[in-house]
Each structure stands twice: as C-alpha cells, then as structure tokens.
Amino acid sequence: MKLTKKRHACVRLEKDGRTLVIDPGAFSEEDAAAGADVILVTHEHLDHFDEDRLRTALEANPAAELWTLASVADQVSAAFPGRVHTVGHGDTFTIAGFDVQVHGELHAVIHPDIPRITNVGYLVDGSVFHPGDALTVPGHPVDTLLLPVHAPWNKISEVIDYVREVKPRRAVDVHDALLADLARPAYDSQIGALGGAEHLRLTPGDTARA
C-alpha cells in the first residue's frame, strides 16, 4: 500500500487503484477525503470527524462508503442510506479490496471529570494500525503503527511505552497538529531512541510504502 500523511490524524492508503481514508477531521485538508472509496472514522471529535468533509466525499463518489461508530453514523446515515455502516470492537469487514479489523472501545482519559466517549482503532490489511484517540494494543502483529504523538490525553512516556507494547516494525507520527516545530526534534529523538522501532515523521503530503 501507499500511505500518504495528511494533516493531523488523517492518512490515505492506496492500492490497486482504490483509496481508503482514515479520520478526515477539521484539522486536515479540505480535500482530505476527496476521491476516497472507503472512509473510516475512529470517533466523533472534530479533529477526526468533520461532517462537511464526509458529505462532500460521499456526494462526489456515489459508490463510496463510510464505516464508523454509532455516534458518527447517526449524524450522516440518513443522507446516505445503505452507505454508512456502524462498527464496534471485534468487527471485521472487507471493502474495496481492503481487509479491516476493528479494535478498541473507549477514548483515552482526558481528565476524570470529562466523560469518556467511544473510540475504535482500525487495522488495515493486517499491517497498518490507526488507534484513533487511544493507546489500544490490537493483539495482532503490526507493521506500521500510526502513532498519536501529541494530545491533551497523553505524554511522551506513554507514547514511547505504547510503541514498545505494540512492537511495530515502524511508527509513523499522526495526531501532531498541536505539536510545535520547536518540540519536534525532542520527540523524534526520544521516540526513535527509546521506542524500539523505526520512527518516521512525515510532513503532510509525504508518502511511504506500507
């Protein structure tokens, strides 16, 4: 697969002329989901789910489908009957040539006073894992871990330990829009030195093989 990093938590995966997009939220590019055959959304927070971006992509491609949690599906399913699918932990499905496994149930704790919402991660083709806003360990080998490096709910020691626990061949940064450029070298060196996996930071628009 070809992996293209988009802004913040969004990535595009392409193979055999088909495109799968994960989490085209409000922090990602306006056209982040354009041309997608499949869209996966991990949870309802605006930096992962933008209704306008989803509607535009689904309207542009009448064959495109969305797979997501009920909290997101309920907001768009009426406009696209039969094309919006609700998923949960343990589900598996194949769409547009991509095999997808669903892992996880809850968003990471931001603060004990903030109620936790649902969140799932997606393992695509048994290779690329996007956990959304959680440090979910899928319990399957992972080649490329899409690593949420900076969020209100994590700290770098947790990020490093997450890489160690998942044991991917490679960790690629996502969830990084709020991380200042000044701090990037410190994150790069510490995750790369301590995580136990190849660490790759892509700027939006950069690609890698997955």
Q: How many Cβ atoms are within 10 Å of 90's Cβ, its own excluded? A: 11
Encoded tokens for 111: 């603060």
SS3 139: coil
Low-confidence ranges of the chain (pLDDT < 70): none
The residues that bridge with 68 in the sheet, in sequence order, are: 41, 86
Cα 69 to Cα 38, 49, 51, 94: the distances in Å are 15, 11, 14, 17
- Residue 15: the pLDDT is 97
pTM for this predicted structure: 0.97
CATH number of 2-106+118-209: 3.60.15.10
Confidence at residue 157, expressed as pLDDT on a 0 to 100 scale: 97
For residue 143, what pLDDT is reported? 98
**What is residue 49's predicted lDDT score, i.e. its pLDDT?**
98
DSSP summary character for residue 116: P
Collapse the DSSP code of 57 into the 3-class scheme (helix H, G, I; strand E, B; otherwise coil) and give the result: helix
Residue 175 is predicted with a pLDDT of 98
The predicted-structure confidence for 106-157, as pLDDT tens digits, reads as follows 999 999 999 999 999 999 999 999 999 999 999 999 999 999 999 999 999 9
Per the prediction, the chain carries an average pLDDT of: 97
Task: Please state, in angstroms and rounded to a whole number, the distance separating the CA atoms of residues 122 and 129.
Answer: 6
Backbone angles phi, psi at 32, to 5 degrees: -60, -35
